[in-house]
A and B are shown apart, each in its own frame.
Chain A
Amino acid sequence: MDCFFASAEVLDDPALAGLPVLVGGSGPRSVVASASYEARGYGVRSAMPMAEALRRCPVAVVRQPRMVRYRELSAELRAALESFDGVVEMAGLDEAYLEVRGRAGLGPRAERALGVAVRALVQRRVALPASVGLGSTKLVSKLAAGAAKPRVARRKPVPGAGVVVVPAGAELAFLWRHPVGALPGVGGATASLLRRNGVETVRDLAALPASVVEVGGRHLTQLHEMAWGVDPRPVVAERVAKSISVEHTWPVDIVAFDEAEDAVTSLADGLAGRLRDAGLEARTVQLKVRYADFRLATRARTLAAPTAAAPVLAAAGRELLVSVGVGDGVRLLGLAGTGLAAPTARQLSLDPRGGGPDWRAASGVLDAVRQRFGPGALGPARLLGTAAPEGRPEDQRAPGSHPQEGEERPSRADRLPRKGDHPTDRPTHAQRRGALGRGEGGVAEP
């Protein structure tokens, strides 16, 4: 999808059409989650700090992200693609792979017709602009889709090809035209490392002698193979999540330990909700702390039993927080559940009170109450009374879990870090507290 979040805002508010639209938060540390092509004409890019974006494009219209709406549209996208005979893999909210069955050796003209049909159906069903790339591997089709997108020329948006077909046999020529940065797994650091060694394009990378590639280790070997068109990744309908995580960057560093504990409690509540939404339980809890000086600490703890209960996750998270501390201040906290599995056999307890509360049942009630009375109706007690409600973020179940456009998916533990990995457009600290605290206690009136 082309600038998905921004296009969705235009869809729901047609008055925005043709205007530079930015989607993102408004806090001092917010970044641009999505920018319309008009805004890109001003030099705004995705993942750019919002302040910088507004400096470049002061006339931009800024909209808060509405993840719930984007997920709806994403579901439409999936439904549209699933009407074709093939396998659909969502690679984020706004990106998907479709492996079409029985179309091998179709010939470029028929392939092009297929691409046009896919694009037309998506644009009709989702009512948002889309670009389609066809290729023999995921890598090639992704880059082809990128090549089909609109671009900016002389500060003005220029429509793209819409559909780009890379015929069989032409993959390498197509790949080699790209800069190395276009390959997945090449972020800023890798790109500049390669550049210092004279590798600018995928062609340069492919030309590296085997002896050099070997020295570069596994990562370089993989990239080198990619440069030769090797991409064995299959299109799989449902990817098994390896971890589910939520994280949040605060507009102002957290320096007080108890405030960081509150933050972890709130993250645990969000993580638990996401786990239960996915029908999973986590065996291990991992805490991620980014300090004021950008130093990163992660600690993990394996639980006695897998859980999707916020209080258990929160207790483990706070325990991990004790082991790393808040240092001189914390800018980001993240909590991830790994070792995911569907709820399994549960050992019953001799204690009629269950040797502790029956969190599965309690969580079920919690979810039901929130479903009916809203996400703020019930929350962790320790967050009560800390509220400063000033507009609740929409997705209160998972504070800080709003992803960058195209990043809505369980993060894979082994995923290569990329630019734009910083989640963005999150509720501010006060909003987070407002979301769960509200200071009004108890269950809201129906």
Chain B
Amino acid sequence: MRFRAERDALADALGIATRAAARSGPSLGSGGVRLDLHGGDLVALGTDAEMSLEVSLVVEGARDGGGVVPGRLVLDLVRALPGGVVHLDAEGDEVHLSGGRSSFTVRCAPEAEFARPPVLSGEAVQVDAAAFAGALRQVVRAASTDALRASLTGVLLAAEPTGIRLVATDSYRLSLRDLPGATLLEEGRQVVLPAHALAELARLLPGPGALDVLVGEREALFSVGKVRLLSRIIGSDFPNYQALFPPQYPNRLVVAKEPFLEAVRRMRLLNRDQATPVRVSLHEDRVELAASAVDVGQGAEDLDARYEGEEAAMAFNPTFLIEGVEGVTGDEVLIELSDPSKAVLIRDVSSVDYRYILMPVRVP
């Protein structure tokens, strides 16, 4: 395989493929990226246990072929070469890279160790890329990152009568987003995909455009532009979350989103040891925030707000609270609550498409 490519374009393609390869274990080629050249089409493929990322790029090909290169190193080298044209020549177990007056020879991984992702066939469904990316950003970060709680590291995609629903929870909070009108699963079907793969997908999705989605039996394929992301399907089991939504809450707080976010972010500065909650006191016309960390210090702030209900005081993990409020798209946040020891619901004032349930912190 031999070709010439523009440095930045090649670096971008390798950068995407490496994001899947970077996490791969030794059995998957140790961060290897597979390059395949056919005519003028170069395909870079990285794969790990949960997903694979494939990028195609038009280059000036000189000799067809393929090979597995150490993704991270080749990416770093390509980025560091002088701008302009880069030559890449892979032969046997070596790859030669040159640009300007510098050249490198890098050892390659044996091709046999590289696991090729399965090929998925079927009819893809189109969804609006920007809307889907927005939904992913609202939901994915509520998934657990604790490998010990593997069952919560996934994101639920469920077909609902009106569209598609995304749900993730780490058992402390739950984020739900309905995307009305989107139908990428057969009726009644639900799948759980790794949050890590969907977070990558959210990163890849650029502005407006279409995202092609094909959900198979064991994998789901997302294609946007020149990039294809194939994610493993973890399964279809997901905790029963419907019971977490009570029919109604007796208490409602409405507060301006940005000032509230900024205030909680200020309180979070005292959260040095991840053990300092932000205390929220609810009054008729205002909400008081306070944080107090032993041996560190304390802070307080109050904001104008509208509150209907019994005066109450609660405490939250500030990061969980911030992430929930950030998901709200409007200018005002509605926080509904019942008992101070029970979960609150954070959402838009006028819509229930996005719902974020957050459990409080019990202060000793």
One of B171, B359, B362 near A345 (C-beta < 8 A): B362
Which residue of chain A has the shortest Cβ distance to B295 in the bound complex? Answer: A341
A343 touches B171 (CB 8 A): no
B289 to chain A, nearest CB (A): 15
Fill in one digit per residue for B274-314: 1 if any A CB lies within 8 Å of its CB, else 0.
Answer: 01110000000000000000100000000000000000000
B361 touches A350 (CB 8 A): no
B217 CB within 8 Å of chain A: no
B364 touches A347 (CB 8 A): no
A345-B174 CB under 8 A given contacts A350-B169, A350-B343, A350-B357 = no
Q: B294 — which chain A residues lie within 8 A by C-beta?
A: 342
Q: A343 — which chain B residues lie within 8 A by C-beta?
A: 364
**A342, B364: Cα distance in complex, Å:** 10
B146 touches A350 (CB 8 A): no
A355 CB within 8 Å of chain B: yes
B69 to chain A, nearest CB (A): 31
Q: B276 — which chain A residues lie within 8 A by C-beta?
A: 344-345
B294 to chain A, nearest CB (A): 8
Which residue of chain A has the shortest Cβ distance to B342 in the bound complex? Answer: A348
B239 touches A341 (CB 8 A): no
B25 to chain A, nearest CB (A): 16
B363 touches A341 (CB 8 A): no
A345 touches B361 (CB 8 A): yes
A345-B273 CB under 8 A given contacts A304-B146, A351-B239 = no
B275 touches A345 (CB 8 A): yes
Q: B315 — which chain A residues lie within 8 A by C-beta?
A: 345
A350-B359 CB under 8 A given contacts A341-B273, A341-B275, A345-B315 = yes
A344 touches B364 (CB 8 A): yes
Which residue of chain A has the shortest Cβ distance to B172 in the bound complex? Answer: A347
A349 CB within 8 Å of chain B: yes
A129 CB within 8 Å of chain B: no
Which residue of chain B has the shortest Cβ distance to A339 in the bound complex? Answer: B273
One of B148, B244, B341 near A348 (C-beta < 8 A): B341
B61 CB within 8 Å of chain A: no
B172 touches A349 (CB 8 A): yes
A395 to chain B, nearest CB (A): 29
A346 CB within 8 Å of chain B: yes
B327 CB within 8 Å of chain A: no
A347-B359 CB under 8 A given contacts A304-B146, A306-B275, A355-B171 = yes
Which residue of chain A has the shortest Cβ distance to B171 in the bound complex? Answer: A355
B360 CB within 8 Å of chain A: yes
User: Which residues, 329 to 387 on A, are CB-close (under 8 Å) to B?
Assistant: 341-351, 355
B341 touches A345 (CB 8 A): no
B298 to chain A, nearest CB (A): 14
**A342, B294: Cα distance in complex, Å:** 10
A346 touches B359 (CB 8 A): no
Fill in one digit per residue for B169-200: 1 if any A CB lies within 8 Å of its CB, else 0.
Answer: 10111100000000000000000000000000
One of A306, A341, A350 near B171 (C-beta < 8 A): A350
User: Which residues, 402 to 432 on A, are CB-close (under 8 Å) to B?
Assistant: none
Q: A342 — which chain B residues lie within 8 A by C-beta?
A: 294, 364
Which residue of chain A has the shortest Cβ distance to B360 in the bound complex? Answer: A348
The A contact surface, by secondary structure, is loop
**A213, B109: Cα distance in complex, Å:** 51
B173 touches A348 (CB 8 A): no
Q: A345 — which chain B residues lie within 8 A by C-beta?
A: 275-277, 315, 361-364
A348 touches B364 (CB 8 A): no
User: Which residues, 270 to 294 on A, are CB-close (under 8 Å) to B?
Assistant: none
**A348, B362: Cα distance in complex, Å:** 7
Fill in one digit per residue for A288-326: 1 if any B CB lies within 8 Å of its CB, else 0.
Answer: 000000000000000010100000000000000000000
A347 touches B239 (CB 8 A): no
B290 to chain A, nearest CB (A): 13
Which residue of chain A has the shortest Cβ distance to B320 in the bound complex? Answer: A347
Which residue of chain B has the shortest Cβ distance to A353 in the bound complex? Answer: B171
**A350, B245: Cα distance in complex, Å:** 11
Q: B357 — which chain A residues lie within 8 A by C-beta?
A: 350
Which of A306, A342, A344 neighbours the largest number of chain B CB atoms within 10 Å of its CB?
A344
Which residue of chain B has the shortest Cβ distance to A348 in the bound complex? Answer: B359
Which residue of chain A has the shortest Cβ distance to B361 in the bound complex? Answer: A345
A416 to chain B, nearest CB (A): 27
A313 to chain B, nearest CB (A): 14
A350 touches B174 (CB 8 A): yes
B172 touches A350 (CB 8 A): yes
B171 touches A346 (CB 8 A): no
A7 to chain B, nearest CB (A): 40
Q: A348 — which chain B residues lie within 8 A by C-beta?
A: 172, 341, 359-362
Which residue of chain A has the shortest Cβ distance to B239 in the bound complex? Answer: A351
**A349, B320: Cα distance in complex, Å:** 13
Which residue of chain A has the shortest Cβ distance to B152 in the bound complex? Answer: A355
**A350, B294: Cα distance in complex, Å:** 27
A346 touches B361 (CB 8 A): yes
**A348, B315: Cα distance in complex, Å:** 10
A349 touches B171 (CB 8 A): yes
A350-B244 CB under 8 A given contacts A345-B275, A345-B276, A345-B277 = yes
A349-B359 CB under 8 A given contacts A304-B146, A355-B171 = yes
**A341, B272: Cα distance in complex, Å:** 13
User: Which residues, 62 to 94 on A, are CB-close (under 8 Å) to B?
Assistant: none
Q: Which 10 A-B pairs have the closest CB atoms?
A: A355-B171, A344-B275, A348-B359, A345-B361, A345-B277, A345-B363, A346-B362, A349-B171, A347-B361, A347-B172
Interface residues of A, Cβ cutoff 8 Å to B: 304, 306, 341-351, 355
Query: Can you identify 12 A-B contacts, CB atoms within 8 angstroms?
Result: A304-B146, A304-B148, A306-B275, A341-B273, A345-B315, A346-B362, A346-B364, A348-B172, A349-B171, A349-B359, A351-B239, A355-B171
Known interface pairs A341-B273, A345-B361; 10 further A-B residue pairs with C-beta atoms within 8 A, sorted by A's residue number:
A304-B146, A345-B277, A345-B315, A346-B361, A347-B361, A348-B361, A350-B169, A351-B171, A351-B239, A355-B149
